[in-house]
């Protein structure tokens, strides 16, 4: 399989780790099959939290966590990188802002 030349080293390291894990028939917790949407990419924070807990014995946990450091959605390496929208206390509407925080489990 060819990888994009522009992919960063961390993503290449993750890809190499995934490839080696598959060759060794190691279990990757987020690999399909699952029913419906991927729990690691769910819109539901509770589902993502449970998915993140399933990452703990993944053979590429460290590589995945490193690759996900700049991601803003989904679970990467046992951490939920999803940005949490800020909500106005006055209107209860989402606030457009660059100051969103990252929700991390653990």
Which of 60, 30, 62 has the alpha carbon at shortest distance from 47? 30
Q: Binding ligand SF4 by CB under 6 A: which of 10, 15, 26, 28?
A: 28
Integer Cα distance of 96 and 83 in angstroms: 12
Closer CB to ligand SF4, residue 29 or residue 82? 29
- Check residue 39 for interaction with ligand SF4 (CB under 6 A): no
Q: CB nearer to ligand SF4: give 56 or 94.
A: 56
The interface region with ligand SF4, picked from 1-9, 24-32, 42-50, 81-89 by CB under 6 A, is: 24-32
Helices of type H across 1-106: 9-23, 45-54, 61-67
Q: Cβ contacts of residue 22 below 8 Å, gap of 6+?
A: 28
Position 77 contacts ligand SF4 (CB under 6 A): yes
């Amino acid at each position: 399989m060819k990888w994009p030349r522009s992919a960063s080293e961390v993503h290449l390291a993750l890809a190499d780790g995934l490839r080696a894990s598959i060759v060794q028939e190691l279990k990757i917790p987020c690999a399909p099959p699952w029913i419906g949407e991927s729990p690691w990419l769910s819109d539901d924070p509770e589902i993502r939290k449970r998915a993140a807990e399933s990452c703990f014995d993944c053979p590429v946990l460290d590589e995945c966590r490193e690759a996900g450091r700049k991601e803003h959605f989904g679970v990467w390496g046992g951490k939920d990188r999803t940005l949490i929208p800020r909500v106005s206390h006055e209107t209860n509407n989402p606030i457009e802002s660059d100051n969103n925080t990252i929700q991390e489990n653990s």
